[in-house]
Structure 1
C-alpha cells in the first residue's frame, strides 16, 4: 500500500537501528495499523499546536505578574519554533516502537517510572515529580475510558507478533504516547507550569481521541481476520471531528470556529448583519445589482484582496484610504472578461462594511497620534481578510488579530510626534508588523499570533524599563516631598522664634543659613516628635536667649552655666550637617564677641570670679575668656549690628531661585477642580503646549503632602509637575484632555453598533 512519504524514512531509520534482528519485518496488517495511527496522531498534534497559542494567550491574560506573563509569551514563541521538530520526534518514536514489535528483547530492559524504586524516586526533582504525577493521571483517565478497546488491541497485536505486549508496552497505549511526547518536548525551555499546560493540551487533543485511534486499529486487524470474535464498544460520537472541521474549512474557503469557542459567536455577527440590513437603503446605499449578477466566492474575494494588498502604496493619506472603490474596479474588470456581472456576496459585503466602519472610527480617534494613523490605516486589508476568514474576529476579545490592533494602539498611547520618526524604536516595530502582514499574510491567520507574541515581548521589555524609571521618579518625588515638608516645618519654627524680634545680625544669619540645615536633617532622620528634634529647637531657643539683654543676677548665673553646653550643641549640630568649617569658625568668633559683651553688661562681679577674669572650660578647652571689668574693654569692637526680623523667613529648595508665587484658590465645587480630582494614577493626558506642539504624558504619582501631580512620558521620565490648582486652570483653558485608554477595537465596535442603532431608530 502507499504510505506517507514523510514517514517512510523514519521506518527505514528504525529498521536500520537493529540490522541483526532475527525477525525485522512487520506483517502487512501491522504496517496498515501503524500508518493509520500515524496519520491520526499527526492530525491530533496539529490540532494541539493550532490551539496552543490561544490557550497560552488566555493564560497570559490572567497572569498576575509581568514575569509570569512573559513566561507564557516565551513559551508560545518556543513552541512555535520547535513545532515541526516535536511532531517529527513524536512520530519517529511511534515508528521505532512498531519496528521493534517483532524483535526479541536482548538484555535487561531499562526501568520505567512504574518500576523505579522509592529510593530513586526520592531523587527526582519536584518539577519531574509534578510531571510524573500529571502523566500518571492522564494515563489513568484514558485507561478508565478506553481500557477495553486498548486491551483488545494489545491482545490482537500479541496474536501476530513474537513479543508479548501489555497495555503499558503497547506502542499506541497512553503510557508510551505520553513518554514519546515528553521526549519530543525535551528541548523546550519552559517552566514546569507551562509544561503542565502543554501536557493538558496533549491530553485534550491527542489522548482525547484515543477511542477512535483504538477503534480504527482494531478494525484493521479484524478485517484481516485477527480475533474477530472480540467485540469492542463503538467510539464516542463527536459533533465536530478534526477531519470534518478541516473539510468544512476547505469547502467554505475559511477557517472553522476554534474548539470551545463561545456559542454566541455566530449570534454576535448575526446581530451586526441585522443592523446593517435595517439601515441599508436609508442611511447606507443599497447596491443595485443586475438580475444575472453572480456573487464571487470567498476564495475569489480573498484573492482580490491579496491583489490590492500586494499593490498597496507605502505612503497613503489617511483620508484617501478606502479599499471599496479599488474592489469595485477589480470586479468590473472581472465582469467584463466573463461577460457576467460579478459582485461580492451579501455576507462578505457585510464584513467589508463593518471593517470599513471600524477603521473610520479608528482613524478619526483623537487618542491615536496622527503620525501613527497612516501606519495603522494600512492594516485595514489584513484585518478585513482575517474577518472574512473568521467571524469570531467581531466577537472574541482574545482573537489574535484583534489583540494585535489593541496592543499597537495601547503602545502608541504615549507616543509623541517627532521630526525623525524613523529613529523611534516603537515606530519602527509597528512599521515592521504592518509590513510583515502586507508581505506575508495570505490566508493563514496564525501569523497574527506570531506577530502578537513578538510585539508583546517588545512592549513588555519597554514597559519594564519605563516602570523601573517611573518608580525611581516616584521615589525621588516622595523624597522631595519629605524635604519640602521639612522646609515648611523649619520655616515655621524659625518664624515663631525670630519674627518681630530685634537680634544681632550674625545670630539671625547663623540660624537661617546654618542651623536651618541642622533642623532639616534632624526632621528627615528622626521626625517632628523625636527627642532629637526637641533638642535642636531648644538649642535655637538657648542661642536666642543668650544674646538678648538681661539684668537680673539669676540671668547672669544661667548664662554662665548655659554657654558651654550651648556652644557644644551648636558645634556638634553644624558638624553633623557638614556645614562649611570656615563659615562655622567665623560664626563662633562673632558669637564669642556677643557673649563677652553680654557678660560685660552685668554691673557686679560674677561669683565665680577668679582674679580679674572668669574662665569657662570644658574638657580643658578654653571656649570663652571673659574679662570682668565694669568699663568697656580696650579690645571691644563696638556694639553689634542689630536687625529686626519683620518678614517671614522663606527657605529655598536646591535649585530654586525665588519663592513660588501663591496660587489662587478655587471653589471646591468648580468643575475644573472636580476633573482634577477624578484623575487617577496611570491616566494618560495630552497638554496643548502651543498651537503646534502637544505633550502626551501619564500621571505617575500624586504627592499628597505637597499636592503635586507628577507626569512622565512613555519611557518613565518626568516631563511635567503641576499642582491641583494648576491642573484645574489647564482644564478651564481646555488645554488638557484625557486620553481614552480603553481597548481601541472594543471602543470602535461599540461606536459602530451605537451608530447603526441610532440610524435604525432615526
Structure 2
C-alpha cells in the first residue's frame, strides 16, 4: 500500500506493468536515482570529513582514559572502514531502486536465537538505537512530509511495485536503516554509534528537504504528475501555522494522517487534490456530464442530512439485495430528496461539494463494476460497498488523496485478495468469499458515521489474508521445490538417454543385454548423475561398465580377446551387481539377468577354437575368481556342454530409447514453431514470477493462476492457484501459441482504487478536451 498523501493524478511517464523485466526502470527514475546518489555521496563525505574532529573533541572531554581510548579507537576504525560504509550504503540505495519493478515472494520472518545472558544488553542498545532513529525520522517527516509524499506518489506512477513513505528509497526511514546496516561492522560502543548517527542526521538528513525539492522538480520537468505542487521550501514554520491549518481542515474531526501527522499536511493535499478533481468536474458539466439544474428557491441540505439519507438507503432491501450494476445511486437519492422537498415545502438539493463527491464515487464504482480483473461474484459483493465508501468520502476528503486511508486500503486489500479467486459453484462455502461477505454485511449494518470501523475491519482482514498468504506461500514453495527436483531428474534422464542411444542405437545385441541396460542399469546411471554429475569419475565408471558389457557379448575373432574376456568378466559382474544393489533394483530380476548373462559369456568362449597359451589354459581350467567368498561368477564348461547352450535372442535397436518418470508421459511441443522474433514469444519472456494470468480453456471455462516458477533447465512454466497448488504446466512455445490465439489475459494487480481513480481522471480530461 502507498502511504502517500496524494493520489496519482495521471501517468504521463511511461507505464511499466508488473510484468516488466525485473530491475528495468523508467529513464526519469534512473535520472532521479543517479542525481540523488551523487548528493548522498557528497553528504556522506562531509560526514566522514567532520567525524574526526567531532570524535577528537569528545575524546578531549572524556572523563577517563578508557573513555578517551574508546573515542580514539573509533576514529581509527572509522578511517579504515569509511570507504566500505560509503560503498555499502550507496549499494543498498541502488538495489532498492532496482527492486522497484521486481516481484518478491514473501517469506515468513525468521526469529534469531537470543541467549538470556545477553538479552538485557541487546535490548538496551537496540532501544537506544531505535529511539535515536525514530527521533531522526520524525524530524524529517515533520519538515518534509508533503514533499516526500509527492515524491512517493510520483515514483508509484512509474513503477509496478507500490511503495509508501516508509519504503521510499529516498525516505528517511530507509536511509537510516541503510546507514545503520552499513555501520554494523564498526566495532564501537553504543555511545560512539549514537554520535555517528547524530552526524548522519546533521550532514545527510538535514539536506533531504533540498533533495526532495530538486527531485520533485526534476520529475515535473520529465512530465510526471506536474499537477502536484509542493509548497516552497520552508526551513522553519511560523508561529501558529499548524493552528491555522487545523482550523481550515475539511475532514471529519479527529481524522489524522498516518504516522502521527495531524490535519495540517492532510488538509494541504485535500485542498489541492480535491480542488483539482472539482475543477475537472466543473469543466465537463454540460458536455460529458449533465449540468446541475436547480430551482431558484433550492436549499442545499447539510452533509449531516446527506449522511442520514445515505444511511437510510444503505439499510433498504432494494440496495442490499440488488445487483449493483442495476442500482442507480443518483436516482434513488433524487427520489428521497423529492419526498423531503414535499414535506418541507422547499426544494431540497445536495450541496455542490457533496454533489461532486457523489459523482466521483459513482464514477469510481462504475470502473470497478466494469473491471475484468474481478470475478462477477466478488464484483457484486464489492459493489455493495458504494454507499459506505461514499459516506466516508463525504466525512473525510482525504479518502481521495491518502493512499493509507483505512477505507481505501480495505477496498484495495479486498481486490488484491480476490485477484486469484475464480468463479465456482460453491462460492458461498469459500473462506475468502465468506470473509468479504461478512465485511460488506458488517459495514451495511453497523457503519453510520464513525470511520473507525474501517480500521477495525482492515486489521481483521489483513490478519485473515496474512494467514492465507503464509499457507499458500508454503505450498507454493513446496511446489517450486518439487518442480526443481523433477527438472533435475529430467535432465539426468536425458543424459542417460543420450548415453544409451549413443551406444545401442543401430546395433544388434542380445535382447537380455538391451533390457538390462534400459530397465536396470539406466536407474544406476540416473542416481549417479543426480548425486555426482556428468563430469564425475563415478559417472564415467557407469559408462565404462556399460561399454564393457556391450563389448563382452559382441562377437570377437582375435585370440587375445579371450584373455581379455577372462580378465574382464569378474570385475564387470561385480560392478553390475553392486550398481544394481545401490539402485535397489529388484533382486529376483537381478538374479534372472545374471543367469542369462552367464549363458552369454559361456557362448562367447565357444567361438574361440584356437589353443590358448599355457598360462591362459591354466586359468581356464580353474573356476574364475570368486567375489566376497561367493560361488564362482563364471565357470567354463566342457566343450560338449558348450554345444548344448541355446542361441540367445537378438534384437536390433532401431528406435531411440526414451526413459519416462513413473506415470509420466513426454510433453510434446506444439506443432507450431514460431520464429525467435515473434511478438508472442516476447510476451512470454516478459512474464515474471508472480504474474497473474487468466487462461480461456474453452468457451465456458477460464482458469486463473499465478506464474510460480520458470524452471530454466527444462524450460517449463509452472502455474499455481491462489492456494499455491500447481494447476498448469506450459513450455515457452506452448505459452506463445496461447498468447497468439488470445487465450491468455494478464491480470492487472495494481491497486484497484488507484486504477479506478486514474481512469476517472483520464475520462474527465478527455471530456474536457473533447
TM-score, normalised on structure 2?
0.68
Which runs of structure 2 are paired with 1:174-573 in the superposition (5 Å)? Answer: 237-241=239-243, 245=246, 258-259=262-263, 261-262=265-266, 263-312=268-317, 313-573=319-579
1:545-591 CA-to-partner distances (Å, cap 9, x unmatched) read: 00000111221111111001000000000000000000000000000
- 2:711 aligned with 1:706: no
1:108-154 CA-to-partner distances (Å, cap 9, x unmatched) read: xxxxxxxxxxxxx9995543565589889999xxxxxxxxxxxxxxx
Q: Name the structure 1 match of 2:123.
A: 127
TM-score, normalised on structure 1?
0.68
How many Å apart are 1:265 and its aligned residue?
A: 3.3
How many Å apart are 1:541 and its aligned residue?
A: 0.3
Which runs of structure 2 are paired with 1:108-123 in the superposition (5 Å)? Answer: none
- In structure 1, distance between residues paired with 2:393 and 2:551: 85
Residues 655 and 611 from structure 1, CA distance in 2 versus in 1: closer, same or farther, beyond 3 angstroms? Answer: closer
Residues 419 and 246 from structure 1, CA distance in 2 versus in 1: closer, same or farther, beyond 3 angstroms? Answer: farther
* Cα RMSD for the two superposed structures: 3.0
How many Å apart are 1:613 and its aligned residue?
A: 3.3
- In structure 2, distance between residues paired with 1:137 and 1:526: 51
1:349-384 CA-to-partner distances (Å, cap 9, x unmatched) read: 001000000000000000001111110011001111
Which SS does the other structure have where 2:693 is aligned?
strand
Q: Name the structure 1 match of 2:748.
A: 740
Q: Which has the higher contact order (CA 8 A, sep 6+)?
A: 2
Residues 308 and 348 from structure 1, CA distance in 2 versus in 1: closer, same or farther, beyond 3 angstroms? Answer: same
How many Å apart are 1:735 and its aligned residue?
A: 1.6
**Corresponding residue to 2:697 among 689, 698, 706:** 689
Which SS does the other structure have where 2:647 is aligned?
coil
Residues 134 and 661 from structure 1, CA distance in 2 versus in 1: closer, same or farther, beyond 3 angstroms? Answer: closer
Contact 2:670–2:734 (Cα < 8 Å) also in 1? no
- In structure 1, distance between residues paired with 2:657 and 2:249: 84
Residues 271 and 248 from structure 1, CA distance in 2 versus in 1: closer, same or farther, beyond 3 angstroms? Answer: closer
Contact 1:363–1:377 (Cα < 8 Å) also in 2? yes
- In structure 1, distance between residues paired with 2:123 and 2:484: 43
Residues 267 and 657 from structure 1, CA distance in 2 versus in 1: closer, same or farther, beyond 3 angstroms? Answer: closer
**Corresponding residue to 1:648 among 656, 661, 671:** 656
Contact 2:669–2:733 (Cα < 8 Å) also in 1? no
**Corresponding residue to 2:634 among 606, 609, 624:** 624
Equivalent pairs counted in the alignment come to 553
- In structure 1, distance between residues paired with 2:580 and 2:670: 32
- 2:629 aligned with 1:633: no
**Corresponding residue to 1:726 among 724, 731, 734:** 734
- In structure 2, distance between residues paired with 1:541 and 1:610: 28
- In structure 1, distance between residues paired with 2:759 and 2:131: 48
Contact 1:605–1:628 (Cα < 8 Å) also in 2? no
Contact 2:670–2:733 (Cα < 8 Å) also in 1? no
Which runs of structure 2 are paired with 1:595-614 in the superposition (5 Å)? Answer: 595-607=601-613, 608-610=616-618, 613-614=621-622
- In structure 2, distance between residues paired with 1:270 and 1:70: 46
- In structure 2, distance between residues paired with 1:688 and 1:664: 19
Contact 1:310–1:438 (Cα < 8 Å) also in 2? yes
Larger Rg, first or second structure (1 or 2): 1
- In structure 2, distance between residues paired with 1:545 and 1:248: 93
Which SS does the other structure have where 1:295 is aligned?
strand
- In structure 2, distance between residues paired with 1:68 and 1:559: 61
Q: Which runs of 5+ in 1 are unaligned?
A: 1-60, 72-120, 140-235
- In structure 1, distance between residues paired with 2:110 and 2:396: 27
- In structure 2, distance between residues paired with 1:705 and 1:299: 65
Contact 1:70–1:457 (Cα < 8 Å) also in 2? no
Which SS does the other structure have where 2:280 is aligned?
helix
Q: Which runs of 5+ in 2 are unaligned?
A: 1-99, 112-116, 136-237
